[in-house]
Structure 1
Amino acid sequence: MINKFVGSVHEAVADIHDGAIVLVGGFGGAGHPTELLHALLEQGARNLTMVSNNSGNHEVGLAALIKAERVKKMICSFPRGSHSYVFNQFYAEGRIELECVPQGTIAERLHAAGAGLGGFYTRTSYGTELAAGKEVREINGHHYVFEYPMHADFALVLAQKGDRWGNLVYNKTARNFGPVMCQAAKTTVVQVKQKVELGDLDPEAIITPGIFVDRVVEVSDPQFSS
């Protein structure tokens, strides 16, 4: 019998190794799998490369990992924000690397990884420092920058509901990067607010099929995640 649920957030992240590339869902605080990230903090993995929309808020979740010096590189679209002071300090002191990638480009690089594509051309970033060293091609009078897929070792994602097969539905805009991150990682770990029985989810409403999910953990009353 397939049952992808595990007993705790700590069990869910136990095999994340030093030096892993980890995708982290969320747009600001919405869809941020904070409890999984706190479990990863306690687990102790180091030298991580984290991929997310932004670089963490306050001193929880992703920001807590950065503060504990577990993250060597941050790949994100919005490294600076009103609540991202931990990353700001570390970057100013040269204690963390940064790769800034436009938001749509991150999403499409993740999609390309999940779809088995070799890459894609985009007009975004042409003529800027973000295009330095990348292949450029003119198509129909416009210049495009070639971007490679963004594969990862693990994805940490928040969903609203999940069944034992790993089928997922999300809470409105808390979906954000979740579906494409589930497809782009070798191992996908999902934190859900509600565990449901197999067959309770409307097949037409399932956003992420269980084939893209490896482990699910229920956190019915999260302290931070939304």
Structure 2
Amino acid sequence: MVSETPRPKALVVDDERQMVDIVSFALETQGFDTVQALDAETAWQLTRQHAFDIVILDVMLPRSSGLTLCRRIRLDSDVPILLLTAKGEAADRVAGLEAGADDYVVKPFHPRELALRAQGIVRRYRDRGDGSRTVVGDLVIDHRSSTATRHGQRIPLSQSEFRLLATLASHPDEVLGWSYLLQAVWGTDSLLGGREMVKTAIYRLRAKLEDAPTDASYIATVRGRGYRMMQRPDDRRS
């Protein structure tokens, strides 16, 4: 008997009941099961009780902000997080990435567009690759499990950070521009502030990779062109 792929489960968090219902309905029409929360603490408790495939999280929540909850979840899990925000400024989007979010949608948005965005994120999360590994210096990237280790110790990466690392590592010593990375990692080329998104994600990824006894530099910045994964991490050219 052929087993079916289980329906993805989404946690929808917003303090507006109407918004929660709209987002939940849109997700359910795309094959999701949904669980709802109207505040950060309830949402946190739900993440402790259920295994979600994605969290749809409003930034503006009572008592505790969505960014605070995002950081809290990220310390405990690598579940994809899609932020909902009424703020369209690049600095606000960067703040979301720094909190550990994988993507964001700016209000107002079309519910079906959000659901399709969530569907794409979950699909990439579930796609664990062909089991191959990439080795760069003392860094081992496992494409099947979407994990990276250094000296046998797992590096805590969000799913977008892992995709960014895997994309760079699959093109060793090749310069990749920010627009290419934006499409490869986040699946879009239309986000305002995309250059800053990539720059911030690279900064956060470097901070996690280079906290090593060897202090190796894995990712080089090629000024005016993009970023390059070094085959020999001790080579600090930039």
Structure-2-length-normalised TM-score: 0.26
Q: Which gives a bigger RCO, structure 1 or 2 (Cα 8 Å, sep 6+)?
A: 1
Structure with the largest fraction of strand? 1
